[in-house]
Amino acid sequence: MIAVVYVHSYNFSDSFLTPATRISEGANLTAMIEYFLSNGLLRFAVPLFFIISGFLFYHTYKNTLAVYKKKLLRRCYSVLTPYIIWSFLSAIFILLLSSFDLTKKLDIVTEHPVTQTVDFLKCFINPPAFQLWFLQQLIIFFIISPIIYLLVKYTRGLILIPIGTLWLFDFSFVINTQALFYYTIGAAFAIFKKSRNVTRQSNTLMAIISVVVWVCLSGSLTVLAAYSSDESATISLVMTFIYKLNEIAGIVSVWLLFDHMFSFVTNKRPIMFLTGHLFFIYVMHEPLLHFTYQLSAVGGITDFGRLILYVGLPISNIAVCVIASMIIRKIARPLHRLLTGDRSGNVTLHPIRADRLSK
pLDDT 10s digits, 73-120: 999 999 999 999 999 988 888 777 777 665 554 444 444 444 444 466
For the cut 60, the answer to whether the pLDDT of residue 356 exceeds it is no
For residue 309, the Cα-to-chain-centroid distance in whole angstroms is 21
| Among the listed residues 138, 168, 163, the one whose alpha carbon sits nearest the alpha carbon of residue 246 | 168
Task: State pLDDT tens for residues 202-236.
Answer: 677 888 899 999 999 999 999 999 998 777 888 99
* Residue 205 pLDDT: 84
Looking at the structure of the chain, the number of domains it has is: 1
* Residue 358 pLDDT: 39
| Among the listed residues 340, 281, 268, the one whose alpha carbon sits nearest the alpha carbon of residue 316 | 281
For the cut 80, the answer to whether the pLDDT of residue 17 exceeds it is yes
Q: Which domain holds residue 59?
A: 42-200
Residue 66 lies inside a defined structural domain of this protein: yes
Residue 102 lies inside a defined structural domain of this protein: yes
Range among 10-19, 273-282, 329-338 with highest mean pLDDT value: 329-338
Residue 313 lies inside a defined structural domain of this protein: no
Residue 126 lies inside a defined structural domain of this protein: yes
Residue 225 lies inside a defined structural domain of this protein: no
Collapse the DSSP code of 20 into the 3-class scheme (helix H, G, I; strand E, B; otherwise coil) and give the result.
coil
The model scores a pTM over 0.95:
no
Task: State pLDDT tens for residues 151-210.
Answer: 999 999 999 999 999 999 888 788 999 999 999 999 999 999 876 666 655 677 888 899
Would you tell me the crossing angle of helices 45-59 and 145-154 to the nearest 10 degrees? 90
* Residue 114 pLDDT: 42
Residue 259 lies inside a defined structural domain of this protein: no
| Among the listed residues 138, 7, 6, 171, the one whose alpha carbon sits nearest the alpha carbon of residue 72 | 138
Q: What is the mean pLDDT of the chain?
A: 85
Residue 47 lies inside a defined structural domain of this protein: yes
The identity of residue 295, as a single letter, is L
Residue 58 lies inside a defined structural domain of this protein: yes
